[in-house]
Chains A and B, each alone.
Chain A
């Protein structure tokens, strides 16, 4: 196994603008790194550059200690699992898994052993004689993973491998991928637009937007300490609530919403000193849905209380999502499902001041 290092990596098609800009990521050996971002952010392009399926316009790419910018895909010692499986339709499962090994000139017996071992690991031994068209989506995905495993590569690349599976199967496969990572103890780079997959699978997540890395950190750090408004809004479901306003420090420290409907006393806010520097400047307040509560916690003294009109209620069984308007924004609160919430009455809600986030409205960078 080996680590992967991206140094100032850049990509442009023909003479067009850069679609990947100065990306620096150091992926450790045996690490599971997830590249996540909305459609068109460049995550798949980055993965294809690592795979050798796209040329590199600038920067350096290392697999282990070897610079591989000009090394053909087949010689990079990597394996890739594709979104639509990319199994060869005219070959059986065995032939699909064995094809790459045959081309490398491995002895027949070793090929058989490797294929059977991977098939056992993925519980697809009974499918070896079938063709892809005779299998379900989940089975095909296992074969695609098996085809990667038999190559015993230094790095596994996954390009949205669960996108074509239904929700239930996606959940199961996520757990199996975690298990597989533990068993193989391999370096894995995984691309997805689904932040739930990113949060549950990655040792580290790299959030991309328009070809730029917005933040790379552990899933919990990304969730709890987003570096900017984009990451705060992208990571987490439902997304973080935002409200533009400004900081007033000409008396007690306060946040005032842009429309003037909301004023929050921030004298108890943990990073009050940092916020003071933003006196009079436009900022964006952020708060996650679960940090707006029906009543404050037993030891919670720092909260902001507000009566809000309820726009809609979604009862999810385990929790209740309450939607309410705040100036031009629609806020979501994730509340306990223990108490029924009537949709037509105002609701008294408590905002946990310790969980508030503030972002510079111009740069979108988190104020810490």
Chain B
């Protein structure tokens, strides 16, 4: 009984701020000081104001474009690198693998400046390339793919080779369909990470039509364009969280498995 009570309290402590945020975004400016879970003087005005002040639709499309394209590229590059590390024999294979694992221990802040300089030199500042390319090679996805490929029987690869498959067909037509949970895990983790990424876009994007949602919402909230209207800021935060929440409702089981298998969260 006590266990359920504690779990209920814990669940409430996680849920309450989120529900309050949704409720507050639908309340009038006067009702924001209330801590109730129902909107006070319900109104859409915060959302109307927000959409009139910032190009959230464009930012949403930018975020979708960046997250989808990058996730796709992460899957392709991770699968290819993971396959090579798991199944191909070449000199220095283990060294490369350990180096990739080592990069996982480096916090992003360390590589922020070198990466920014690279973007400047490549002329990619204020382009989608700056939002996509630094994230295309993902050590976690390489690690997860390598482990998954190592778990598949060699005979599956041999049979495919005898059937006439080249390496790319073996990876994408024979092996990937048999490690779908891993593919989903990597997709979810990568997509979420990219969707929520605010720091890197703030550094490399200054051009508003290229901004992603987290960047725009952050700038909107702290940059003064919300004109100190808390309700409008909260509405923007709800819009930012909404796509991930919707995705979570559809892929709840896979989200949980992804978090459990990676042992990481943002």
Q: Which residues of A contact B (CB under 8 A)?
A: 48, 51-53, 72-74, 78-80, 82-90, 99-100, 103-104, 147
A74 and B178 form a contact (CB under 8 A): no
A14 nearest CB neighbor, chain B only: B89
A104 and B164 form a contact (CB under 8 A): yes
CB contact between A100 and one of B155, B156, B162 (< 8 Å): that residue: B162
- Interface of chain A, main secondary structure: loop
B153 and A84 form a contact (CB under 8 A): yes
Given known contacts A84-B153, A86-B156, A88-B156, A53 and B164 CB-to-CB distance under 8 angstroms = no
Residues from chain A with Cβ under 8 Å of B178 in the complex: 88-90
B residues 114-166 with Cβ under 8 Å of A?
Answer: 153, 155-156, 158-165
A53 nearest CB neighbor, chain B only: B158
Q: Given the complex of chains A and B, what is the CA–CA distance between A139 and B165 in angstroms?
A: 25
A99 and B155 form a contact (CB under 8 A): no
Residues from chain A with Cβ under 8 Å of B153 in the complex: 84, 86
Residues from chain B with Cβ under 8 Å of A53 in the complex: 158, 161-162
B169 nearest CB neighbor, chain A only: A103
Q: Given the complex of chains A and B, what is the CA–CA distance between A73 and B153 in angstroms?
A: 18
Residues from chain A with Cβ under 8 Å of B155 in the complex: 82-86
B: contact size bracket: 10 to 19
Q: Which residues of B contact A (CB under 8 A)?
A: 153, 155-156, 158-165, 169, 174, 177-178
Residues from chain B with Cβ under 8 Å of A51 in the complex: 158, 162
Residues from chain B with Cβ under 8 Å of A87 in the complex: 159
A74 and B158 form a contact (CB under 8 A): no
Residues from chain B with Cβ under 8 Å of A79 in the complex: 162
Jot down 14 A-B pairs with beta carbons below 8 A, ordered by A.
A52-B161, A52-B162, A72-B161, A73-B161, A74-B164, A74-B165, A80-B158, A80-B159, A83-B155, A84-B155, A88-B159, A99-B163, A103-B164, A104-B164
A103 nearest CB neighbor, chain B only: B164
Q: Given the complex of chains A and B, what is the CA–CA distance between A100 and B169 in angstroms?
A: 12
B156 and A74 form a contact (CB under 8 A): no
CB contact between B162 and one of A80, A88, A89 (< 8 Å): that residue: A80
Supplied contacts A53-B162, A82-B159, A103-B164, 4 more A-B pairs, CB within 8 Å: A72-B161, A80-B159, A103-B163, A103-B169
Shortest beta-carbon contacts, A-B, top 3: A100-B163, A86-B155, A74-B164
Give chain A nearest CB distance to B163 CB in angstroms: 4
A103 and B165 form a contact (CB under 8 A): yes
A90 and B177 form a contact (CB under 8 A): yes
